[in-house]
Amino acid sequence: MKGVVFIKFDEAQIVMESENEIISLEDISKRPDLSEVIKNLYCPDEKCDAKLTYNRRSVGAYLSKHKSYVHSSECQLYSEELKRQNDMTEYNELPGRVSDFGIKRRKRALSQMLRDLLSPPEKSESKPKKKKATPKKITDDSTVQKISTKVVYDSNGDVIKKDDERKVREPTFYKILPYQITSLDSWKNLATIALIKKVVVSETERPYAEIEGTFEGQDVLFVMPEAFFQNNLREINIEQLQGYLKDLKGYVEENPKNLYINTLCQSKGIDKNNLILYIPEPDFIGFSTSSNTNFSSLTNVAIAISTRKI
């Protein structure tokens, strides 16, 4: 059986009624009409009409050929599709949580993304690099299989640790800005940021809280359901969590437009006019001020508020 090389693209040809031009992967993600643009992307080779797929990943999106299309025989990438590779990792899926290190790493990446958006770094001049497609290794009858564990996020599961015999791939969280979220992101693990506008903390017996946020014109509601208060690795009790959120509520009321939430979360069905995301664990939340002070957890920001450090 012959394998097919999987090619990643860093640009595409966009074919729409209003435009027909080459667009970079970076510029695609910035488009306000992202949901429409990604339906109309094709191979950048002018001799080819193979459609491309916009794939989201935790470290950023990438472009690949749509599985229902093939490159034209005149396309420079046609021959690449026929190449074979000699190894691949096979993943066994298990339900589980994100490790403490994994959560911190993802929140640091969100803080850095926000910092770059609020204070864009100066671009240094550099020589243009020659673009090339990156083949992804696949399998055929002669390949060597490597077995690893892929963790599917489950807030009721345990943290699955790697050992000498087993490698572990932690749950994927797609880093994305609120206005970039589309129906393609329904029922996904996401990592995003927003300026906090309002905090609501339930006073009823069943704990519940909401954080209203916005970013670049897109409003988003972060919901902290009952499970958020009852199932956390640090065993912070419900009253403490409610107290921290009330401190946050008071701070936002007195200091609007100053505090951002950086959080891992989950989506259900996506409605851009009523964008709701769910935060299943307290440790998923981090915060950043508009002046670039970062707080790695709800506990830390509550302490800073109570001691008037911010």
Name the nearest CA neighbour of 297 among 83, 115, 111.
Answer: 111
Q: How many residues does the chain have?
A: 310
Cα 125 → chain centroid = 29
Least confident of 150-164, 218-232, 279-293, 294-308: 150-164
Give percent of the chain with pLDDT exceeding 70.
Answer: 82
Residue 222: its pLDDT value, please? 98
- In the structure, what pLDDT confidence band is assigned to residue 6 with cuts at 50, 70 and 90? low
- Residue 282, pLDDT above cutoff 70: yes
Q: Could you tell me the pTM of the whole model?
A: 0.71
- Order across the sheet with 134-136: list the strands: 52-55, 62-65, 6-9, 134-136
Give the pair of three-digit tokens for residue 221: 């509601």
Least confident of 121-130, 157-166, 176-185, 269-278: 121-130
Mean pLDDT, to the nearest integer, of 203-227?
A: 94
Mean pLDDT, to the nearest integer, of 60-66?
A: 80
Judge whether 1 and 142 are in contact, CB under 8 Å. Answer: no
Residue 1: its pLDDT value, please? 35
Amino acid present at 245: L
Give percent of the chain with pLDDT exceeding 90.
Answer: 43
* Residue pLDDT, tens place only, 81-98: 544 333 445 678 889 999
